[in-house]
Amino acid sequence: MTTIYELQTPALLVERSALERNLATMSAALPGPRLRPHVKAHKSTALARMQQAAGHRSFTCATIREVEGMAAAGLGQDLLLANEVLDARRLGDLVSRGARVTLAVDSVPTVEAAVMGGLREVLIDVNVGLPRCGCAPGDAGRLAELARSRGLEVRGVMGYEGHLMLVGEADDRRKQVEECMTKLVAAHGDVGGDIISAGGTGTFSVNTWANEIQAGSYALMDTAYGAVDDLPFEQALFVLGTVISTTPPADGIPGWAVVDVGLKSLGMDHGNPSIPGATVWFCSDEHTTWQPEPFESVRLGDRVRVVPAHVDPTITLHERMWLVDGDEIVDELPVDLRGW
C-alpha cells in the first residue's frame, strides 16, 4: 500500500506533519514527566512510542487491557490506571512481571482490591467537581492512611476536571479549573506523595496546580476540541471515505452525496462529523449523507476526508490508523489497545 487510493474505506488517516507538530508543541509546553499522555485517546502502542520519543515516559490508561498492552510493548515504566477497578488481579500479574502500575482508588473496597490484586502503588482519586469517580476531598487523607496501613505506597492524588475541557472562554476555564484544583491541592496536603495528576487537552495550559497533565486528544484532535479557540493543536485525524452515490439537485431539493463513513466508523456522542466546505445532513450505519457546495465539486469515487467530532470513540472502532503525508502512506499504526 503506497497511497490512500489503494485503501479499503472507511480507513483512519493520521496526517504525519500535523501529528508531529502537535507532539512537539505539547512536549515544549509540558516536557518529560510534566505530561502523562493518556493512551485511551489513540489506543495505539505505536503512537505511544512516538510520545515516548518526544520525552514522555509515564502514561495514563483507562482500561486494564490498555495497561496490559502498554506493558507488553515495553512501555511499562510508569503506567497509571486512572480508573477504579474491583478486581485488580490482572494488574498485579503485570507488577509481578516487572511493570510499574499505579492504580486509582476512591473507596475502601477499591483499596482492598488493590491489595488483594497484588498492586503496590496507588493514587487517591478525588472528586473535584465532575460527578463521576473520586472520593470527597475531605475523605482523601483517611483513604491514604488506610492504603498505607495495608502496605500500599500512596504516590499522591489525581482529580479530573473533565467537565471543563470544552469551556470556550480561556479566562472562564482558568477560573473554574482553579476552583477544582484548590480542592485537589488541599486533598494532596492531607494525602502526601509526589504526584498531583489532573487535566486534559482542554486545560493543559491553564492547569498550573497539577504537576502532571493527563492529556490524550491533543495528538490527533477532533472538531469538539478544534472549536476551543486557544488550543495550539491541529486536526491530524481523518476518516477516509469513498463517495459511493450522488443525487443531483431536483425539484428544489439540493443535490447530495453519500460517503461510506458512518456510525460504525465514527464516535457520535459529540454529534455529526464534519466535511470541510460542505454540510453534513446525517449519518447511518455505513453512510454519511452530505451536501457538497457546489454539487458539481464532487464525483462518484472521490476520496473524502471526514473529520470526527470525538477522537477517542472514533479510533476504538478501527483496527489500524494509516500515517500519511498527504496522499502517500508512510506507516501503519495498529490500534492494538482495544477491548477490556
CA–CA dist 266, 283 (Å, integer):
9
Of 55, 192, 193, 313, the residue at the interface with a copy of itself (CB under 8 A) is 313
Pick the closest to residue 215 from 207, 74, 188 (CA basis). 207
Of the residues 231, 258, 275, 323, which one makes contact with a copy of itself according to CB under 8 A: 258
Among 162, 199, 200, 292, binds a copy of itself (CB under 8 A): 162
Residue 178's SS3 state is helix
Beta carbons within 8 Å of 134's beta carbon, 6+ residues apart: 106, 125, 126, 127, 128, 159, 160
| Cβ at position 332, least distance to a copy of itself in Å | 15
Give the one residue of 69, 134, 159, 202 binding a copy of itself; rule: CB under 8 A.
134
* Contacting a copy of itself within 96-115 (CB under 8 A): 106-107, 109-110
Cβ nearer to a copy of itself, comparing 76 with 129: 129
Report how far residue 62's alpha carbon sits from residue 320's, in angstroms, rounded to the nearest whole number. 19
Which residue number, 11 or 185, has a Cβ lying nearer to a copy of itself?
A: 11
250 counts as binding a copy of itself under rule CB under 8 A? yes
Q: For residue 283, state whether it binds a copy of itself (rule: CB under 8 A).
A: yes
Distance, CA of 186 to CA of 225 (rounded, Å) = 30
Does position 138 interact with a copy of itself (CB under 8 A)? The reply is: no
Classify residue 131 by its DSSP letter.
S
Q: What residue type is assigned to position 232 of the chain?
A: P
Options 27-35, 170-178, 225-233, 310-318: segment touching a copy of itself (CB under 8 A): 310-318
Q: Which is nearer to a copy of itself, 27 or 270 (CB)?
A: 270
C-alpha cell at 27: 512536549
CA dihedral 71, 77, 80, 85 (to 10 degrees): 40
Told to check if 295 binds a copy of itself by CB under 8 A, we report no
List the x/- string, 32-51, binding to a copy of itself by CB under 8 A.
--------x-----------
- Name the minimum Å distance from CB 31 to a copy of itself: 26
- Asked if 223 is part of the footprint of a copy of itself (rule: CB under 8 A), the reply reads no
Query: With contact defined as beta carbons under 8 Å apart, do 239 and 310 qualify?
Result: no
Q: Which residues of 152-188 are buried (b: 16+ CB within 10 A; e: fewer)?
A: bebbbbbbbbbebbebeebeebbebbeebbebbbbbb
Residue ranges that bind a copy of itself, judged by CB under 8 A:
8-10, 40, 62-64, 83-86, 106-107, 109-110, 127, 131-134, 136, 162, 242, 244-247, 250, 253, 256, 258, 260, 263-265, 267-269, 281, 283-287, 289, 300-301, 310, 312-313, 316-317, 319, 339-340
